[in-house]
Amino acid sequence: METFDPSKKPKLNKITGLLKKSGVIAVLVIAIPVIGIGSVYNIQEQEQAVLTTLGSAKTVAEPGLHFKIPFIQRVQKVNTTIQGVAIGYDPSDNQSEEADSLMITSDYNFVNVDFFVEYKLVDPVKAVYASQDPFAILQNISRSCIRTVIGSYDVDSVLTTGKNEIQSRVKEMVMNKLEQHDVGLSVVNVTIQDSEPPTAEVMEAFKAVETAKQGKETALNNANKYRNEKLPEATAQTDKILQEAESSKVQRVNEANAEVAKFNAMYEEYSKNPEVTRKRMFYEAMEDVLPGMKVIIDGTGKTDTILPLDSFTGAAGAAASQEAGNNEAGQNSPGNSAGERTGNDGKSGMKQGESGTQSTGSQTDHGAEEAAE
C-alpha cells in the first residue's frame, strides 16, 4: 500500500501543469499547419473549381492560389480541356468492340463503325452536381444517336461517300440530347475512326468498289484536263474561221458594190447614147468570143450553112501552105505539067478560101449586128 507523502504534492502539480501546457502546444503545432494548408487551394491553367459553402456551389475559374474556410467550404476541381471518348473500340489497343461497333444500315447490311467523340465541360457546377456520372450519360447518348443515324443510311454511304454527313448529323443530335439532360457537357466534334464490313470477303468487295470509284474520279479529272487543253484551241480555231468569214463577207460586199457602181456608170453612159454604146458592147463581146470559135453557122438564107474555121486557120491552113510550096517546086522540074496544074489549082483554092473567109466574117458580123438590134 502506497503511503501519501505531502512533500511530493507540489512536484506533482508542477508536472501536471507542464503536461497540460505541452499538450496545448502540440495541438496548436499540429492544428495550425493543417488549418493553413486546408484553407489554401491552387487552380491550374486548364482547370476550374467548384467551391461549395454550406450546400451553395459556385464556379471559380481564375487560375492561381485561392482561400477557403476549412471544414465549412469544400473545393472540387474539374478539367476543362477537350477530352474524348471512344465508341466501338478500345483506345488502348485499337481493337474493335462489336457490342458497340456492329450496326445495321437502312438497306439491311451490317457494318463495323468506330467513333471518337470529343467533349468538354462548359458548366462545372452542373457537371459535379447535376448527375452522378455525366461521362456515362454522354456515352449512352452517343451510342443511341450513332445507331439512329447509321440506321438511316445505306451501306455505301456509311463506308464511302456519306461519312462527313453522318458525322455532322451525329454531332448535332448528341448536342441536342445533352442540352435536354443539362449535365454541363458539350460535344466539340464527332469523328468516324473506321468503317468496314464485318467479314473479310465483303471487305474486299467494298475495297474493289472504292478502287473503281477512285478510277472514275481519275478518269473524270483526265477528261476535264483534256477538255481544258482542247477548248482554247477549238475556240481559237472558231475565232479564226469567223474572222475569215467576216473578211470574205466584206470582200464580196465590196466587190458587189464595185460591180453595182460599174453597172450604174455603164448605164449612165448607155442612156446618153444607146446606139453607140450597144455596138461597142457587141464588138467587145465578139473580141472575147470569136478567138475560141471552131464553127460559124450562117442562117441568113433559107438553109443554115456550117463553116468550119479549122480549114482556114491553124493546122489545115499550114497544110495547105505546105502543099502549095510543093506544087511550086514541081513546076521547076521538066515534064511536070501535072504538078504545075496542081500548084495552080492550090493557089486558086487559097484565094477562094481567103475570099470565102472574108465573106463569111462579114456575114457573121452582119448577122450579129441584126441579132443585137
CA–CA separation, 55 and 258 (whole Å): 110
Closest listed residue to residue 351, CA positions, set 314, 320, 326: 320
pLDDT for the residue 341: 39
Give, in order, the Cα–Cα distances in Å from 32 to each of 19, 40, 67, 113: 20, 13, 15, 58
Are 297 and 290 a contacting pair, CB within 8 Å?
A: no
- Give the angle subtended at the CA of 95 by the CAs of 91 and 97, to the nearest 5°: 95
Beta strand segments in 21-141, E: 40-43, 47-53, 56-60, 64-67, 73-79, 83-87, 89-90, 95-96, 102-104, 110-121
pLDDT for the residue 33: 58
Residue type, 242: L
pLDDT for the residue 219: 94
Closest listed residue to residue 73, CA positions, set 57, 84, 86: 57
pLDDT for the residue 165: 93
CA–CA separation, 235 and 302 (whole Å): 70
> Tens-of-pLDDT digits for all 373 residues of the chain?
344 444 444 554 555 555 455 555 655 555 555 555 567 777 888 888 888 888 788 877 777 777 777 777 788 888 888 999 999 888 888 888 888 888 989 988 888 899 999 999 888 888 888 888 888 999 999 999 999 999 999 888 888 888 999 999 999 999 999 999 888 899 999 999 888 887 776 777 777 877 888 899 999 999 999 999 999 999 999 999 999 999 999 999 999 999 999 889 888 888 888 888 888 888 888 888 777 666 666 666 555 555 555 555 555 445 544 554 454 444 444 434 333 333 344 344 443 444 343 333 443 344 434 433 3
pLDDT for the residue 307: 55
Rounded to the nearest 10 degrees, what angle do helices 134-150 and 163-181 cross at? 140
pLDDT per position as a tens digit, 224-243: 999 999 999 999 999 999 99
pLDDT for the residue 149: 94
Global pTM value: 0.46
Cβ neighbours around 154 below 10 Å, total: 13
pLDDT per position as a tens digit, 298-347: 666 555 555 555 555 555 445 544 554 454 444 444 434 333 333 344 34
